[in-house]
Structure 1
Amino acid sequence: MIGELINSIEKIEVPSADRKFGITRILKKYDGIPVYIKDVNGYEVIGNLCNRETIAKSLGISVKDLTRHMLSCMEREKEGKLVINNKLKKEYIEDDPREINNYPIPIYYPKDGGPYITSGVVIVKDKDYGVNASIHRILVKEDHLVIRMVEQRHLHCIYTKNIQDGEVDVAIVIGVHPAVLLAAATSGDITFNELRYASVLMGEPLELIKCDTVDLEVPPGEFIIEGKITKEMEEEGPFVDITGTYDKVRKQPVIKITSLKRKENPIFHALLPGGIEHKVLMGLPQEPRIFKGVRNVVPTVKDVVLTEGGCCWLHAVISIEKRTEGDGKNTILAALASHPSLKHVVVVDDDIDIHNPKDVEYAIATRVQADRDVVIIKGAKGSSLDPSIDEDKTTAKMGIDATISLRKNRDDFIRVEISKDRF
């Protein structure tokens, strides 16, 4: 599935790379552009795969339709169809669990705690909540794994609920369709079935394979790791987070590997920490949530983007069709409430291209009076990914209303355009 996509997109091809820092150098050089590395420890590697253009192409839509498509699909998540197709198992080779040390799993940066799986979709199941699919960084040790679990996320909730019974079944799938990655990066209600959502995103049933050593069904990725999350804890980290800065070391749960499978000629997906792919996969699923939250108070919202400069997490730009004075400020407040990690938000009119930083800056330069249009909120709960956050986890948040005041003559603000007609 991922191989078909790779063949259909424009990409940079590189003959070979070392998995220790070599993959990183190449992916950083071409950050945001898909890169296919033909040989890393005898394996093929794809990186920078999921930019906005590739995700849109994989879903058969345009980039400008991504937010509305995701929102529509999230609202129809229960309609997703999952089909077990165990015939796909014949495509896989069983490896000894220690063979994972020969896989092309990168060491990205000099201070990393070791090789890290960064694109693995982690799948667990709970008898009350159902299936959960999510993405977490996973440190590879000699014969086991250590997984970073953020306390507020659903995986941690399911783990703490079930670990008292001894161990928690888990599967990690590497090299999946972008729709599965996008779905796994989406935060819904704890009963939200990410795999069904992926099916709706794709517009077709999602095939699954029954695992051999754990009670789970998983999408047919390039690599499948089955295992048990245990009560045992080990140090995880240091590791680079979305801001490109190092996260701290913590005690995190150990995963015991029970089965290791790969396709005969698998393609490993290396997701660069702090790269554009990392930012897009984290931020893109938040845009429909912000859009929906803003739409509740400003129905004429047009589009939302979490910007790359703001790590696709801390900064948003929102375009609206302004109809009443105050729409801009209401949009700011709704956006901050919809995505609590948001730190700064700019609201613009719908003649501004929110994907063009120069256009957004133009709106700020020509349509903003700071004493009237800048909103500052002190002492709000901030994002743990922001290195400037205060010790008590609070931060100041800011909104800029860069829309044209309805008290002004709109014609004074509209940029001239040359007629397309010939003179």
Structure 2
Amino acid sequence: MTAIGQDMRSALEILQRENRITRVEGSVDTNFELAAVLAQCPGRSAVIFENVEGYSVPVVGNLVDRKNFALSCGIDTSLEASLNYINKGIENPITPLVVEEAPCREQIITENVDVLKTIPCTTFFEKEAGRYISAGIIIAKDPETGKRNVSMNRLLLLGPDKLMIGMSPSHHLHHLKEKAQKIGKALEVSIAIGNHPAVLVAANAYVDLGFDEFEIAGGMFGEPLKLSKGVTVDVEAPAGAEIVIEAEFIPDELYEEGLVSEFHGMYVDYGKSPVLRVKGITHRNNPYYQVILPGRYHEHFIIGAMAIETTALRNIRTAVPGVKNAYITEGGMGRSHLVVSLSNPRPGEGQKAVFAAFAHCNLIKQVTVVNDDINIDDPVDVEWAIAARMKADQDIFIIPRVRTDRAEALVKEGTVAKIGIIALRDANALPKAEIPEEVMKNVQDQWDKYKITRLS
């Protein structure tokens, strides 16, 4: 297993060695142009913009792809490896370690704070309200228990020291804000930008309020995640973060955001959202700024998908012990479509798996259940299972008016119809015709001896 660090720079070093970085040397403007270039960069490598107009700060995008995640975490690129790695973090959480000296505090700004002057906030889509910070990890503490909550929320730049923060009333952060307000406190937050892929995925984990997501990151790393104390707030941030914005909620101040893109690639209007006052900014010497291209783009999908599929698998296993793997598809927008594989399922267990998935995550609205001989991260193999094993008159069921998330594209009165597809072989299924497994493996191991030439 490759030795790894805890920060974005260590991930970039690994990706550089693996030829998984694209460098953009030409000048780009943060006003739509950077987003347009990022959207059209070929392949799935990380992208570094080295010449951002008006800034000396390089911008990193497309950091998290499934292969990039595996390489930067020192694991193999299989779905099972990533599920096990993330699950290890949840099952074996490690308490973070607060250190006195941290790279993220090499430069400290507490006077004349100006977010836009310091970092290249970006405009993404034409009908949105302005410049957004899209890769910020938000850290807050429960005002009563002191336990951390870590999440990812969009941040709209309103002024030199003001940010609107987008969050649903159902989010844990919203509960902490309300709790603080009831006892007469302004909830403080740290916003960490430029983080290791494992930290980004941990921040998106679907766990109960009070479960410190930084403990999950530590569990993945196999050692405590190093944190640094705040300068103007009593909230820690990852010591290796590139940039940290320290802020607090302004009581009772809301901002009408207007249209904003969602993961499904369409505009929504969520109305008013809370506002933060920035108290300070700290950063590494010569920092990188990280961008996640929102809307219908693969990094936005994958960060959420990897977190959801891992916790969904854990939840399904409590109902169906024979579940093998779970996979959130990219075509399902990294949120909505789940494929589940079962080992030797008994009658009715496919349906139980579907219901367990719906119960776990409001955003999941289609679950396809297959046998464990299907590669669930291969859409062709999954479609084959549907074509060969699903009996449409028996194996498709639709559940109307199920509770969903406000971000669902077709939400109506907080609900949406959900669908289960059972594509399991039955006792009368025809056997699969396959080349002997040992021969297939021998050929693969000796591939070079065949001296195969591809004709153009």
Superposition TM-score, scaled by structure 2 size: 0.87
2:423 is aligned, of 402, 420, 423, to 402
Instruction: Write out per-residue CA displacement over residues 40-62 of structure 1, whole angstroms, 9 at most, x where no aligned residue.
Output: 13320111111112222222222
Task: Tell me which amino acid in the other structure corresponds to 1:371.
Answer: D
Would you say 1:105 and 2:111 are equivalent positions? no
SS in 2 for 1:86: coil
Which residue of structure 2 aligns with residue 198 of structure 1? 217
Flag structure 2 segments of 5+ consecutive residues without an equivalent: 1-6, 444-456
Task: Kindly report which structure 2 residues correspond to 1:118-197, keeping only aligned pairs within 5 A, or say none.
Answer: 118-126=134-142, 127-128=144-145, 130-143=147-160, 144-164=162-182, 165-197=184-216
Greater CA deviation, 65-74 or 250-259? 65-74
Pair 1:417–1:248, CA change in 2 (3 A):
same
Which residue of structure 1 aligns with residue 97 of structure 2? 82
1:71 is aligned, of 87, 96, 119, to 87
Instruction: Write out per-residue CA displacement over residues 230-257 of structure 1, whole angstroms, 9 at most, x where no aligned residue.
Output: 1111222422111011121522111111
Deviation at 1:194, TM superposition (A): 1.2
- Partner Cα distance (2:422, 2:289) in 1: 44
Task: Kindly report which structure 2 residues correspond to 1:285-364, keeping only aligned pairs within 5 A, or say none.
Answer: 285-364=307-386
Would you say 1:253 and 2:265 are equivalent positions? no
Which residue of structure 2 aligns with residue 5 of structure 1? 11
SS in 1 for 2:301: helix
Pair 1:315–1:204, CA change in 2 (3 A):
same
Contact between 2:89 and 2:218, CA under 8 Å: does it hold in 1? no
Contact between 1:45 and 1:268, CA under 8 Å: does it hold in 2? yes
Pair 1:2–1:157, CA change in 2 (3 A):
same
Deviation at 1:377, TM superposition (A): 1.1
Flag structure 1 segments of 5+ consecutive residues without an equivalent: none
Contact between 1:124 and 1:169, CA under 8 Å: does it hold in 2? yes
Deviation at 1:174, TM superposition (A): 0.4
Greater CA deviation, 120-129 or 299-308? 120-129
Would you say 1:42 and 2:56 are equivalent positions? yes
- Partner Cα distance (2:428, 2:168) in 1: 48
Task: Kindly report which structure 2 residues correspond to 1:362-401, keeping only aligned pairs within 5 A, or say none.
Answer: 362-390=384-412, 392-401=413-422
Which residue of structure 1 aligns with residue 33 of structure 2? 22
- Partner Cα distance (2:233, 2:411) in 1: 41
SS in 1 for 2:159: coil
Instruction: Write out per-residue CA displacement over residues 117-144 of structure 1, whole angstroms, 9 at most, x where no aligned residue.
Output: 1110111112325111111000012221
SS in 2 for 1:39: coil
2:236 is aligned, of 214, 217, 222, to 217
1:57 is aligned, of 57, 71, 82, to 71
Deviation at 1:166, TM superposition (A): 4.1
Which residue of structure 1 aligns with residue 454 of structure 2? none
Task: Tell me which amino acid in the other structure corresponds to 2:60.
Answer: I
Contact between 2:105 and 2:283, CA under 8 Å: does it hold in 1? no
Contact between 2:104 and 2:283, CA under 8 Å: does it hold in 1? no
Deviation at 1:298, TM superposition (A): 2.1
Contact between 2:103 and 2:283, CA under 8 Å: does it hold in 1? no
Which residue of structure 2 aligns with residue 115 of structure 1? 131
Would you say 1:227 and 2:247 are equivalent positions? yes
Deviation at 1:327, TM superposition (A): 2.5
- Partner Cα distance (1:25, 1:94) in 2: 31
Counting aligned pairs with the same residue, the percent is: 31
Deviation at 1:93, TM superposition (A): 4.6
Pair 1:249–1:73, CA change in 2 (3 A):
closer
Q: What is the total number of aligned residue pairs between the two structures?
A: 417
Contact between 1:112 and 1:237, CA under 8 Å: does it hold in 2? yes
Instruction: Write out per-residue CA displacement over residues 279-319 of structure 1, whole angstroms, 9 at most, x where no aligned residue.
Output: 11222111122112221232221110110111111100111
Superposition TM-score, scaled by structure 1 size: 0.93
Pair 1:51–1:2, CA change in 2 (3 A):
same
Greater CA deviation, 153-162 or 169-178? 169-178
Task: Kindly report which structure 2 residues correspond to 1:275-290, keeping only aligned pairs within 5 A, or say none.
Answer: 275-290=297-312
Contact between 1:322 and 1:328, CA under 8 Å: does it hold in 2? no
Deviation at 1:258, TM superposition (A): 0.8
Contact between 2:104 and 2:243, CA under 8 Å: does it hold in 1? no
Pair 1:237–1:184, CA change in 2 (3 A):
farther
